[in-house]
Every structure is written in C-alpha cells, then in structure tokens.
Amino acid sequence: MRFSKLVDYLARLDKTSKRLEMTAILGALFKEASEEDVAPIIYLTQERLGPAFEPIDFGIGEALAAEALALATGKDKTEIKKLYKERGDYGIVAEELCGASSNRLTVKQVYDRLMQIATTSGTGTVAQKTLGIGDPTVMEGLSWSKTGDKSLRPQIERAYNVCSDLGQVAQLFKAGGVEALAKIKVTVGKPVRMALAERAKSAEDIVTRLGMCAIEKKFDGFRCQVHKQSEQVRIFSRNLEETTTMFPDIAKAVRDQVKAKTAILEGEALAYDVETAEFHPFQVTMQRKRKYDLEAMTAKFPLRLVAFDLLYVEGKDFTGQPYSKRHDMLAELVGQGDGLSVADHLVTQDAKEIEKYFDDAVTLGLEGILAKRLDSKYQAGARNFNWIKLKRSYQGQLTDTVDGVVVGYLRGRGMRARFGIGAVLVAVYDQPNDRFVTIGKIGTGFSDEKWPQLRELLDKVAVEHKPARVDAVMLPDVWVEPKYVIEMRADEITRSPIHTAGKVGDEPGYALRFPRVIGFIRVDKKPEDATTVKEILGMFKKQGKKKTA
C-alpha cells in the first residue's frame, strides 16, 4: 500500500467522532492492506512502532524536528519555529511546507525508516497528534474487514489477550482468518493481558456468588507479570509496559528463588521495611517508579513481590488450569528468600471467616481482600466474578476511590489564574462502546506545586476539538486526548444532567459529588484501566445514599 493511501484513510478517521464510522473506515483500510502492511498500519494508527511491551522510543524532540524540517525545505530554522508557534503542530508545519511532494513511498518503506530512526537515535519527547483509536475499535475494524460487522471480535480479542500484540494478531488474521489465530499461544517474553476483578459489597455477597473460594489479602502496590527464561527476567506492568530496569531487586529474586527454567507468574510488588518486614503504604512504593537515582532508591525502598498466580511453567500453559492447581504449583515453584513470596490464602465458604480475614487485612493497613473461584481458569484481559475484590472503602457511604481519565481542563480563576489551570474535566470508561464519558469537574486535591506540572503534561496532549472517543456535555476551555489517569475520592455518586457517565436517552447521567484528587497521575494505569461505567452503576446502587442530585 502506498503511504499516501494510508494518509487518506487517517484523514478520514480524523474527521469523524462516530465510533461506528471509525470502525467501518478501519475495516476498509484493513481489507485493502496487504499481509505485509497490516501490522505496521495498526502500530502507526495507535501511535507506536510496535506492541506496547516493546520499549521502542521515537526520540525526536522539538529542536530536532525543526532542524530536520529546515534541512528538508531549505527554510530558516527561525521561520520554522515561528510557524510551529502559530500552528501548534510540527506535522501541520511539515504539510504546509512540503506538500504532497511524493506519493511513491509505501507504508512498509516509511515504517522501516521510522523504525531505523527510533532504534539508532537517543530518547526524547514528541508532541503527538493522536487519532484516539482504542484497541476495541481496532479489533472491530479487523472483524469488519472480513465480515462487514463486529461478529469476529471475541475470537480476535482472545488472541490479543494472549499475546498483547495487535499487529501480530492482524497479520495472522489477514493471512488465515479466525482459524489462524489459534496459533497464538502463551509465550515467555510476551505479556499476557492481565485478569481483573469485579467488586463485592460484603462477605455474604462473595459467598453467594462463589460458594467455597480462596480469600487472599489485597495489596496496593505495582501489579507485575514476571517472565523468566533461564537467567533472563522481564517484568511487565498492568498496562503492558516493561519495568524490568526499574525493579532490579525483583528480577534478582525471581532468578534466585523460582525453581524453573521458564515461567510466567503474577504478583504485587511492594516496598517493605527490611528491619520489620512490614510493607510501606502505596505512596512510598510509588517512589520506586523514579527513573533516576535507581540504585539509591532500591537500597532505600527495596521491593518484595507477593506472587499470587502462575500462568506458565516449563513449556506448559497453566492459564487453562483451575485456580487451586495454579496456586499449589506456584507454592512448589517458589523457594525461600526475602524478595519473593507466595500469597497466603484462606479457603472457606463461611462469611464470618471471610469478615475476620478482611478485618485482619485492614488492621495491617491493606486495602482489603480478593476472593477467587477455586475452579476458575485464568481469563486473560477479562473482568468478571471469578475474582471479586472487597475493599474497606466499599462499606457504608461512597468512600471507595474512582480512577478517572482527564479529558480537558478549565483555565484558572482567582488564586489559580497564575497557573492557567484551575480544574480538570474527568471521565470514566464506557467499555462496551470504547469511549470515555464524563463524571465530574475536579479542582480539589492538587497542590500549588502540582498544578503547573499537570498543565504542562496536559498541554502536550491538547487538541483543538473534542476527541473522538470522548462523550461530553460540559465543555472545558481546553480539550485533551484521554491519556492521564487520576485517583479520586467523593462523598457520593449522584444523578446529573451535565455528565454523560451512564446517560441513556433523556435520562440524566451520573456524577461524583464533592470529588477530590488523591496523589497525582497514576503512572501505572492507562486510560482503559479507569473505573468503568458498569462499576459506577454498581457503586451507586451499593452506596445506600440518596439517589437524586
């Protein structure tokens, strides 16, 4: 495919905010693309050069972009920088200065050249113009390319959940249809999309749903999926980013303590006090995400991985085995040591025993508990009632936290005028429709130090118009692409005509009442990891408070 043809498709995508239309455009694009082109096309439409777990940095900053354009066009660099300030996007500047000077290049040629630049240059930052195409829309587009509808999405999603590489999935699907996707297996070195838990309101609720089950303590740390291949260890976060270099102590513990040549296990990494063996709160653990002074931070706040699941060992895929067997095998696999331990659990169907276990966990300063169905398989990428979480904050009025995605901001007023930002418009994730729907405007919780930092981050992803995946009635001063997740508390959830979370027809949506931010950006979460509309509706029903605004 000529690259100019891909640009035409991207221009069509950029002009629509209707998801069904986006899906149809993607379907036509994928149908026309060759087997060679389809993987690069998917990576490029998702602002990548490879799957999320491959750390390929396209290291071109603003200064280098200006210099490159100056060389390519013969224009003075000062003139180019002036145009950039006026247009706000180097892509637009390049389009105006260069025009359509060539339509001979293919997608593969452009992709290979970009990959060459990315793998030979240093790291840097790029102000990206995003299309806002999420994984669900891409998967439905692939289905559309074969059938004209989204009926094949479940099979495509199963394959994606196993390998976390939509490019690989698309290439196989293009070549051999749904049948070819069966070739995708759990592989050491490629992260499996992580299983997630639903919420419970009480111990009785857990027993009613699961009967006899395993109860684990719920730790608040870094979710880690660890892949061991002989002496090589790779660690992936819940949003599939590789974090191995940040957690050398976890990697060493896995090499030393896991009694298998190849294995994939999951757990929660937490900072702990070497003297007392007690875990630090999440705010302390979060400091280990710093990319500088790594050696000092590792010594000051060592991590322990509490492993709770086994996905693969010595060539055998364990995701299809029942939880009870996976846990038993995990316990056999992990040897003694300080950096890695296996999560304890209580097997019971007694609500009072579960309540006591919950109380003990809370007394230790933990979030709560996780209940797991004993015969459940590991369902990659799924959130269902095979795993159920009960947190201390779920009981009584709404004191549970909500993870929201910033989709816009309002300029500062009064004391915050000097920051240029005074509140953010926040959305939750409407999973079935792959969109973000607003649930509140929040201006409480950020310090005077954090407001300027937040604005700087948001301005890098600011867009002129409402992003295609955002559904909103309230209009911010500045729209931003859904990228940054923040954690919030609120007094309760109320009905609201000015927010779109859970809105159906002329009925009002749902909103957070008196929301406030906890901490800063949740760097361990991507937008699709935000609280879902389904969860908000469940929390609304359980809060036991008044239900009208």
Alpha-carbon distances of 222 from 91, 280, 301, rounded to whole Å: 36, 12, 13
Cα-Cα-Cα-Cα dihedral sign, residues 291, 294, 299, 300: negative
Distance CA 178, CA 184 (A): 11
How do 492-496 and 509-513 pair as beta strands?
antiparallel
Distance CA 251, CA 244 (A): 7
- DSSP symbol at 231: T
Helix %, strand %, coil % for the chain, to 5? 40, 25, 35
Nearest in space to 187 (alpha carbons), one of 3, 302, 316? 316
Residue 229: beta bridge partners? Answer: 232, 262
- Kindly state the helix (H) or strand (E) to which residue 6 belongs, with its residue range: helix 3-14
Neighbour count for residue 52 (Cβ, 10 Å): 21
Q: Where are the beta strands (DSSP E) in 230-318?
A: 232-236, 262-271, 303-313, 316-317
Choosing from 81, 190, 218, 503, the catalytic residue is 218
Alpha-carbon distances of 325 from 214, 291, 330, rounded to whole Å: 12, 38, 9
Verify whether residue 218 is a known catalytic residue: yes
Which phi and psi angles does 128 have, rounded to 5°?
Answer: -95, 145
By annotation, the residues acting in catalysis are 218
